[in-house]
Each structure stands twice: as C-alpha cells, then as structure tokens.
Amino acid sequence: MKQYGIIGNPLGHSYSEQYFTELFKQQSLNATYRPYAIEKIELVQELLTTLEGFNVTYPYKESIIPYLSTLDSVAQTIGAVNVVHQGKGYNTDWIGFRNSLLPLVNPSQRALLLGTGGVSKAIQYAMKDLEIDYTVVSRHNHASAITYEHIDEHLMATHTIIVNCTPLGMHPYTDQLPNIPYQLLTKEHLLYDCIYNPERTLFLQQGELRGCKIKNGLEMLHLQADCAWEIWHQQPNK
C-alpha cells in the first residue's frame, strides 16, 4: 500500500486529508493519506523514506528544499515547494492560484501581495505569468518589498487586486487579519485570500462590507491538489 500525506504545523485547518482520501476511494487505489504535524523540518527525513509523495504547507514550503534530492525547474525558480514525489520537489500552488484568479482579472490591473513566504513566492510567479504588475508588502524592510506603513491612498487606488499570502486569519486564529487601510477599499477592488478555512476570513469580510469582489483559496486548493495527483501518477500538468 502506497502512503501519502501532508506535512506542516499546525494542520487543523487543512482539508487535504479529506480531499485525497476521497480521491483515492473514487479511483479504487490501495493507498493512504495522513497528516504529519511535524514540530521541526528535520523530521521530514524519515518521511522521505516512507512516503511515496506528500504535500507541504505552512511553515515548511521553503525550509524543506535542502532535504530534497532535486527540484523541478519551476520550483527551483519560485524557491518554494508544496508537492514532493519520490524525493523531488514541485510547486503547484502557482497553477492553482493562476487558474482560479484568471477569470476575475485583466493584465491592466495591479496587485498588492501581502506576505513574503512560500505562498507569496508562488503567487509572484503566477502574477508574472499573467503579466500583472504587483507590489509585495512585508512586515519587515526588504529591498524587493514595501512595509505595511507605506500602503497609502495612492497605492490602494492603483492596486485593485489585494492578495493575502500570509496565514493571518487561518483557523484557529480567525480573529487576525493583515494590517491594511480597509477604509480605502472600493467596489473596484478584488480581495483574494489564499486561506480557505474559514471560508470567509476577516480579511474577506472587510472587503465584502465595502462592496469588493472576494474569493477564498478553496478553488486554489483543489486545482493545486489535482496537479499534485497528476505528479504522483507521473503525468505532470504544466
């Protein structure tokens, strides 16, 4: 019996076990899928020897890279991994995000990407693929990002796509949200939250109150998971 799973910490928010267990059942596959809430990334070494493949979520999408035998070219470029198959790292987050965002936007828009971690790196890659200009926002000073204090009326008016790439608001910390000037939101804005549990984070609720278009990360989850499935069955989807 082949074994699959997901690593991260915490994992209480994740729907991956339910999704893949049902998928295995539908395909009549003799396989299992389990969550592994490892306390530190070093513990992945044993899992690499026992699991056929696994998903990677917060906070290990970047720190797992040194433990993998190789990366595919896209994961290498992005600098983050969310799928592993037989010791090789892949990134399907960007595909899930791109394909779920595509019907909602056009290349003339600009985006604010909140956060600088592994999810943000995948979103940046997707934005480049969509030819959408973006600005990254960080809690800390970075050469390639601005801080939240620099988000002013002009930036909010000219950046009508705002993507939460942070874990703020994710179950069970549902009372948290990124620190942006929500009073400057208009009906022209799209708020996209990569979080899917809860379905409507405080971030999305703030947008909804002001007439913004909103979208959570559930479709992104399903699309990236379908790509992971294809990778595990040697049919990479590009």
Q: What is the CATH number of the domain that holds 136?
A: 3.40.50.720
To the query of whether residue 215 is one of the catalytic residues in this protein, the response is no
CA distances from 111 to 1, 10, 51, 212, 230 (A): 45, 29, 38, 14, 30
158 and 210 belong to one structural domain: yes
Q: pLDDT, tens digit, for every residue of 198-208?
A: 999 999 999 99
The answer as to whether 237 is a domain residue is: no
115 and 31 belong to one structural domain: no
The answer as to whether 19 is a domain residue is: yes
153 and 124 belong to one structural domain: yes
Residue 5 pLDDT level (bands cut at 50, 70, 90): very high
Average of pLDDT values for 94-106?
97
Catalytic residue, candidates 61, 128, 213, 238: 61
41 and 105 belong to one structural domain: no
The answer as to whether 32 is a domain residue is: yes
Write down the pLDDT at residue 213. 98
CA 160 to CA 212: how far, in whole Å?
10
Q: What is the CATH number of the domain that holds 47?
A: 3.40.50.10860
The answer as to whether 11 is a domain residue is: yes
17 and 132 belong to one structural domain: no
Strands 213-215 and 133-138 come out as unpaired
Closest CA to 47 of 77, 67, 17: 67
**Phi (first) and psi of residue 71, to 5 degrees:** -125, 150
The answer as to whether 238 is a domain residue is: no
Domains in the chain, number:
2
103 and 85 belong to one structural domain: no
pLDDT at 99 over 70: yes
Write down the pLDDT at residue 120. 98
The answer as to whether 53 is a domain residue is: yes
126 and 168 belong to one structural domain: yes
132 and 189 belong to one structural domain: yes
What is the residue type of 215?
A: K
53 and 109 belong to one structural domain: no
26 and 112 belong to one structural domain: no
Q: pLDDT, tens digit, for every residue of 121-164?
A: 999 999 999 999 999 999 998 889 999 999 999 999 999 999 99
CA 91 to CA 55: how far, in whole Å?
10
CA 134 to CA 132: how far, in whole Å?
6
What rounded mean pLDDT belongs to the chain?
96
Q: Determine the structural domain holding residue 114 and report its residue range.
A: 95-219
Q: pLDDT, tens digit, for every residue of 13-48?
A: 999 999 999 999 999 999 999 999 999 999 999 999
Write down the pLDDT at residue 238. 43
102 and 173 belong to one structural domain: yes
Residue 236 pLDDT level (bands cut at 50, 70, 90): very low
pLDDT at 77 over 50: yes
pLDDT at 185 over 80: yes
